[in-house]
């Protein structure tokens, strides 16, 4: 029954079944676990006078005036009879566009139940205007009124189609009534229900979709969240990965590893063999490779690309920015220089002739690895035998983009790389549908020294950086804003003027989100070669910059940045054996939370510990964007409200 077609539900016809399938509902269980897009709280009266600018009204009104305007628009003035406010505040205008039946339905002097979105508009003398609403006949019972829908909590599944929304509600009720509940408890044992305050499965579905109160609606959501969590947790123990574990390099691969000039760490070798094992599978596998800046994710990905090349397959390497993609191209070209795999780079800036040549050679199988931005997703780019896709900074790609990659081949293995550490306490739930490998951070003999710098010592810190320039090293200067507009925060322009006065005749570049991609590429090449000594930027350098000669990171108004961004920015330096520094310049007026963030960054270098602290400070709302990956994610589970489930 849970896996039967949704059309098996009594009363569900072909049209409704097709509409449900378009929402991803294929079975009765899918239907009962369908999450509402929004909720209309019709259980509490909200009068017109309570709406200051905009908001939902939920009240009883009397029609006091109506008229038909040009273009057949019906204008209705109503009065909130449940409101004790002055007349001006308790009247509103209903605009009826294409709803002429309301002219016959709404009668002067009659009382109706109204629920809708109201907006006060200055051009209409700040009167309340309502154009999106639900209105029904009200019935008087003694001194009170009542109406169908009043006093309820209504789930909205398809906001743009009220008719479909009603049919979905009917279908859900039929699914619940006809489901075999006796043989499906979904792991909701009495102990679990008592321990976590949950409802039996049937009651949870009823109370979620047709809640009797806000309290019961939340209990129902938690119960469905628990069912969802159990399913995810249990899936993590199922072995659907490679049929055979790869735990060694071939002779060709060993030659490549030996040529790297450094030894792979244990966690790198383990991760590489994890990916190799995925590549031996006959079905698609998604793997998340997480490790903070400097942990060696890129070399792991390139070794996997070479493994796939030796098997006769092609690989694609996607990055969110041209800077990052081009850096990967330079790295791959150097690594594979003597190993027979052709590497090409593509972006939207490629000339037409170059693009046509790449597309032709790719389709003929002459290119083993294509590196680029979203240009790889274009319809004119076709692979002969794409088997492996690497997506760097995966949270910066949307669902549609990743699905477009998957459509370019069959049984594609996908490696998602992220430098944003996921707190270990929630990794098991955020990695739903993924295999996961974690790289330990490389332990440097010269870890980055993090210094807190107040405004009084700011210039002193800047002058100390001159010594680094004289040694041939480079620096980053990061500000939170591009422009000066009405802000006390540092901007690109104010910092640029200051640095020119402190470092005259020293070459620099300014990089922001407004900088053209071709200019960024020139700046990166100049920065890597040492011709450009420092870069002034916004946090655009958070990803995509890899310069071993960069030894200083200066972050202006550092107290305004989040922990994750601060840690990522600091990771731009200390990428060699050279001593490196990160200067956190804070404002005179700094908030308590800003002080705490800076203290954490100064005292802690472990990205995973920082992520845990970040989680405790701001909750689990946006720890990482795995939900954008195209794989199914939690619908009901809320980390802040349901974290007690993790105790199981």
Tens-place pLDDT, residues 609-632: 887 787 667 654 443 343 333 334
**How far is the C-alpha of 478 from the C-alpha of 306, rounded, in Å?**
37
Residue 322 has pLDDT above 90, yes or no: no
Rounded distance between C-alpha atoms, residue 10 and residue 1, angstroms? 13
**Backbone dihedral angles phi then psi of residue 232, each to the nearest 5 degrees:** -65, -45
Mean predicted confidence (pLDDT) in 327-342: 95
Highest average pLDDT, of 517-521, 549-553, 628-632, comes from: 549-553
- The answer to whether residue 571 scores a pLDDT higher than 90 is no
534-537 and 474-478: which strand pairing?
A: parallel
Closest residue by Cα to residue 645 from 195, 205, 215: 195
Contact 106, 135 (CB under 8 A): yes
| Structure confidence at residue 234 as a pLDDT band (50, 70, 90) | low
Q: Which CATH superfamily is domain 449-616 in?
A: P-loop containing nucleotide triphosphate hydrolases (3.40.50.300)
CA 138 – CA 585 distance, rounded (Å): 63
Predicted confidence (pLDDT) at residue 434 exceeds the cutoff of 70: no
Average pLDDT over the chain, rounded to an integer: 85
Q: Has residue 27 got a pLDDT over 60? A: yes
- Structure token digits, residue 394: 């995966």
Q: List beta partners, residue 43.
A: none
Reply yes or no on whether the pLDDT at 283 is more than 80: no
423 pLDDT exceeds 80? no
Say what the pLDDT of residue 407 is.
77
- Beta strands 38-41 and 153-156 are antiparallel
HSE-up (13 A, CA, CB side) for residue 23 = 22
Average the pLDDT over 593-617 and give the result. Answer: 84
Quick one: how far is CA 83 from the chain centroid? 43
Q: Which residues pair with 74 in a beta bridge?
A: 68, 96
pLDDT of 630 reads: 36
**Tokens at residue 343, please?**
């590497």
- Per-residue pLDDT of 129-186, as tens digits, reads 998 899 999 988 777 788 888 888 999 999 888 888 888 999 999 999 999 898 888 9
Q: Which carries the bigger pLDDT value, residue 617 or residue 543?
A: 617
Spatial neighbors of 324 by CB under 8 A, at least 6 apart, are: 392, 393, 543, 544
Average pLDDT rounded to a whole number, residues 344-352: 88
200-209 average pLDDT score: 96
Classify 547 as helix, strand or coil: coil
In this predicted model, what pLDDT tens digit does every residue of 68-122 receive, in sequence order? 888 788 999 999 998 888 888 899 999 988 767 888 899 999 999 999 999 998 8
Crossing angle for the helix pair 266-279 and 297-310, nearest 10 degrees?
A: 40
Stated as kind and residue range, the H or E segment containing 68 is: strand 54-69
Which 3 state secondary structure label does DSSP give 363?
A: helix
SS (H, E, C) 566-624: HHHHHCCCCCCCCCCEEEEECCCCCCHHHHHHHHHHHHCCCHHHHHHHHHHHHCCCCCC
Residues 403, 408, 414, 415: what is their CA dihedral angle, to the nearest 10 degrees? Answer: -100
In angstroms, rounded to a whole number, what is the distance separating the alpha carbons of residues 270 and 255? 18
Between these two residues, 453 and 126, which has the higher pLDDT value? 453
Kindly state the tokens that stand for 372. 């680029």
Give the three-state DSSP class for 296: coil
**44-151 and 449-616 in the same fold:** no
Distance, CA of 418 to CA of 290 (rounded, Å): 5
* Cβ-Cβ contacts under 8 Å for 299 (sequence gap 6 or more): 260, 264, 268, 335
How would residue 124 be classed by pLDDT, with cut points 50, 70 and 90?
confident
Structure tokens at 5: 């077609």
**Region 44-151: CATH code:** 2.40.50.140
For the chain, the structural domain boundaries read 44-151, 251-438, 449-616
Residues linked to residue 536 through DSSP beta bridges, in sequence order? 477, 510
Mean of pLDDT values over 495-502: 92
Q: Residue 95 CB: number of other CB atoms within 10 A?
A: 15
Q: Tell me what pLDDT residue 293 has.
A: 74
Helices (H), 455-516: 458-470, 492-502
Question: Which residues pair with residue 386 across a beta bridge?
Answer: 314
Nearest residue to 510 (alpha-carbon basis) of 550, 549, 483: 483
Query: Is 404 buried (19+), middle (13-18) or exposed (0-12) by CB count in 10 A?
Result: middle
Rounded to 5 degrees, what angle do the CA atoms 114, 115, 117 make? 125
User: What pTM does this model have?
Assistant: 0.58
| Tens digits of residue pLDDT in 371-388 | 998 888 888 889 999 999
3-state SS of the chain: helix, strand, coil percent to 5?
40, 20, 40
Residue in 562, 566, 540 with CA at minimum distance from that of residue 554: 566
Chain position carrying tokens 């792979």: 264
Q: How far is the CA of 219 from the CAs of 31, 188, 190, 209, 595, in angstroms?
A: 19, 13, 15, 12, 38
The pLDDT confidence band at residue 466, using thresholds 50, 70 and 90, is very high
pLDDT score at 544: 60
Residue 633 CA to residue 639 CA, distance in Å, equals 13
What's the rounded Cα separation, in Å, for the pair 486 and 503?
27
**What's the CA gap between 74 and 110, in Å, rounded?**
17
Contacts with 450 (C-beta within 8 Å, 6 or more apart), sequence order: 570, 581, 582, 584, 601, 602, 605
Residue-level pLDDT at 618: 60
Report how far apart the first and last C-alpha atoms of the chain are (Å, whole number): 28
Order of strands, sheet of 435-438, starting from the edge strand that comes earlier in the sequence:
343-346, 369-372, 314-318, 386-392, 413-418, 285-290, 435-438
Residue 576 has pLDDT above 80, yes or no: yes
Architecture of the domain spanning 251-438: 3-Layer(aba) Sandwich (3.40)
Query: Per residue in 503-515, pLDDT tens?
Result: 999 999 998 878 8
């Amino acid at each position: 029954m849970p896996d039967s077609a949704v059309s098996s539900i009594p009363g569900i016809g072909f049209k409704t079944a097709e509409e449900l399938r378009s929402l991803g509902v294929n079975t009765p269980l899918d239907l009962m676990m369908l999450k509402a897009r929004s909720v209309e709280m019709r259980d509490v009266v909200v009068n017109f006078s309570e709406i200051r600018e905009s908001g939902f009204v939920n009240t009883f009104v009397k029609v006091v005036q109506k008229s038909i305007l040009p273009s057949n628009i019906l204008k209705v003035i109503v009065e909130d009879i449940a409101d004790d406010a002055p007349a001006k505040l308790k009247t509103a205008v209903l605009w009826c566009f294409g709803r002429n039946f309301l002219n016959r339905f709404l009668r002067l002097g009659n009382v109706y139940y109204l629920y809708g979105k109201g907006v006060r508009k200055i051009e209409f003398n700040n009167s309340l205007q309502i154009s999106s609403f639900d209105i029904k006949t009200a019935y008087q019972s003694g001194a009170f009124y009542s109406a169908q829908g009043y006093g309820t909590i209504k789930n909205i599944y398809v906001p743009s189609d009220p008719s479909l929304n009603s049919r979905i509600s009917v279908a859900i009720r039929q699914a619940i009534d006809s489901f075999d509940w006796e043989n499906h408890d979904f792991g909701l044992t009495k102990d679990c229900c008592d321990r976590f305050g949950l409802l039996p499965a049937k009651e949870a579905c009823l109370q979620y979709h047709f809640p009797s109160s806000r309290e019961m609606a939340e209990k129902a959501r938690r119960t469905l969240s628990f069912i969802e969590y159990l399913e995810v947790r249990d899936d993590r123990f199922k072995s659907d990965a490679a049929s055979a574990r790869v735990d060694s390099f071939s002779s060709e691969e060993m030659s490549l590893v030996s040529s790297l000039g450094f030894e792979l760490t244990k966690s790198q070798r383990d991760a590489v063999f994890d990916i190799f094992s995925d590549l031996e599978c006959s079905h698609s596998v998604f793997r998340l490779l997480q490790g903070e800046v400097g942990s060696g994710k890129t070399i792991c990905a390139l070794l996997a690309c070479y493994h796939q090349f030796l098997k006769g397959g092609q690989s694609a390497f996607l990055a969110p920015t041209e800077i990052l993609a081009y850096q990967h191209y330079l790295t791959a070209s150097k690594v594979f220089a003597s190993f027979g795999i052709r590497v090409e780079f593509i972006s939207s800036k490629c000339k037409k002739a170059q693009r046509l040549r790449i597309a032709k050679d790719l389709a003929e199988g002459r290119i083993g690895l294509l590196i680029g931005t979203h240009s790889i997703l274009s319809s004119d780019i076709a692979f002969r035998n794409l088997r492996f896709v690497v997506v760097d900074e995966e949270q910066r790609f949307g669902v549609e983009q990743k699905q477009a990659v998957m459509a370019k081949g069959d049984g594609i293995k996908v490696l998602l790389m992220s430098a944003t550490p996921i707190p270990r306490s929630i990794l098991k739930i955020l990695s739903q549908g993924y295999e996961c490998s974690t790289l330990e951070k490389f332990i440097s003999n010269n870890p980055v020294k993090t210094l807190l710098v107040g405004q009084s010592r700011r210039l002193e810190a800047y002058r100390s950086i001159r010594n680094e320039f004289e040694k041939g090293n480079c620096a980053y200067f990061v500000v939170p804003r591009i422009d000066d507009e009405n802000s006390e925060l540092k901007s690109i322009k104010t910092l640029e003027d200051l640095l020119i006065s402190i470092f005259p005749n020293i070459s620099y570049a300014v990089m922001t989100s407004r900088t053209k991609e071709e200019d960024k590429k020139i700046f990166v090449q100049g920065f890597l070669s040492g011709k450009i000594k420092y870069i002034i930027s916004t946090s655009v350098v958070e990803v995509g910059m890899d310069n071993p000669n960069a030894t200083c990171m200066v972050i202006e108004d550092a107290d305004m940045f989040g922990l994750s961004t601060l840690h990522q920015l600091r990771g731009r330096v200390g990428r060699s054996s050279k001593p490196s520094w990160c200067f956190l310049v804070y404002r005179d007026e700094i908030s308590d939370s800003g002080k705490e963030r800076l203290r954490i960054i100064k005292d802690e270098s472990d990205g995973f510990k920082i992520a845990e602290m970040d989680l405790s400070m701001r909750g689990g709302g946006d720890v990482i964007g795995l939900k954008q990956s195209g794989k199914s994610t939690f619908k009901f589970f809320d980390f802040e409200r349901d974290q007690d489930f993790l105790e199981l």
